[in-house]
Amino acid sequence: MKTATKPSVKRKLIVANWKMHFTTHKASLYLHKLSEKIATHKDVEVVLAPNMLSLQSLGMQVKHRQFKLAAQNCYWRDEGAFTGEVSATMLHGLVDYVIIGHSERRYVFSETEKDIRMKVQAVLRNKMSPVLCVGETAHQRADGETLHVLHDQVVSGLANVTGEEVARMVIAYEPVWAINSSNSKTHKAATPEDFAVAEKEIRKQVASLYGKSASEAIRVIYGGSVNADNARGFLSQEGCDGLLPGTASLNSEEFLKIVESAHDNKGRDKAGK
């Protein structure tokens, strides 16, 4: 078994996935607005994932005690003849996190488990933290395949990851059927109970590969139609280390409410509720 080192204190992690929204100019204006209004809390880590093109300029603008940055993707080779790609090596120093295996990458851009595994390793090799997205499609759910899918995606995504590295990782449970519900009548958010089932399965797989302390150290977060109204429900689940909002993160008022829910939840934990 590969052993893991446990990080000291777990803060709630809120990762705003802006997807392919905001020009560089708009991203900069939006960041300005957010940083004027956001309160910094020791118990909440706020991460912004803009498009690749905006990373450099936001990196210069961002106040690092307020926000960290994430890339939405990267390529797994460090350099070479790979037209159109950006490597993890190139992102080093610019971002702390890289989202890997998002369902839009898996299903719109046909990324395979091998691509995802290689990308996870590239991010870790370049000293950043991967946010590995896993989750079942509506069909897989209807067929009762959810736990098998999670098992396979977690085991494959963590292949060749060491015990030290796994503690730096984040796994996001993002059921494909729950993503982007505001744009589709067929989609709806998962429930906190759905998350709890998935989270237990994810930690169970991590425990079987790396041991109990690794399964407690790794951060497991929820994504899929998170908004200001449902955020608290997920964050109150024991074992929910944060959220990955997409659509809701594009609205500053709503995003700030989500961040505040993460802070409030921590307060409630301490009060023993």
Judged by the rule CB under 6 A, the positions of this chain that interact with ligand PGA are 17, 174, 179-180, 223-226, 244-248
Q: Which of 102, 111, 136, 263 is catalytic?
A: 102
Place of tokens 């498009």: 51
Provide the minimum distance between the beta carbon of 17 and ligand PGA in the complex, in angstroms, as a whole number: 4
Provide the minimum distance between the beta carbon of 99 and ligand PGA in the complex, in angstroms, as a whole number: 8
Provide the minimum distance between the beta carbon of 70 and ligand PGA in the complex, in angstroms, as a whole number: 11
Closer to ligand PGA by CB, 91 or 245: give it: 245
For 49, phi and psi rounded to 5 degrees?
-115, 85
Instruction: Classify strands 44-49 and 97-100 as parallel, antiparallel or unpaired.
Output: unpaired
Q: Which of 111, 165, 174, 199 is catalytic?
A: 174
Annotation marks residue 174 as catalytic = yes
Closer to ligand PGA by CB, 55 or 248: give it: 248
Q: Three-class SS string for 60-88? A: HHCCCCCCEEEECCCECCCCCCCCCCCEH
Closer to ligand PGA by CB, 11 or 102: give it: 102
Provide the minimum distance between the beta carbon of 18 and ligand PGA in the complex, in angstroms, as a whole number: 10
Cβ neighbours for 220, distance < 8 A, ≥ 6 positions apart: 170, 171, 172, 173, 199, 202, 203, 239, 240, 241
Selection from 141, 134, 136, 140 nearest residue 158 by Cα: 134
Q: Active-site residue numbers?
A: 102, 174
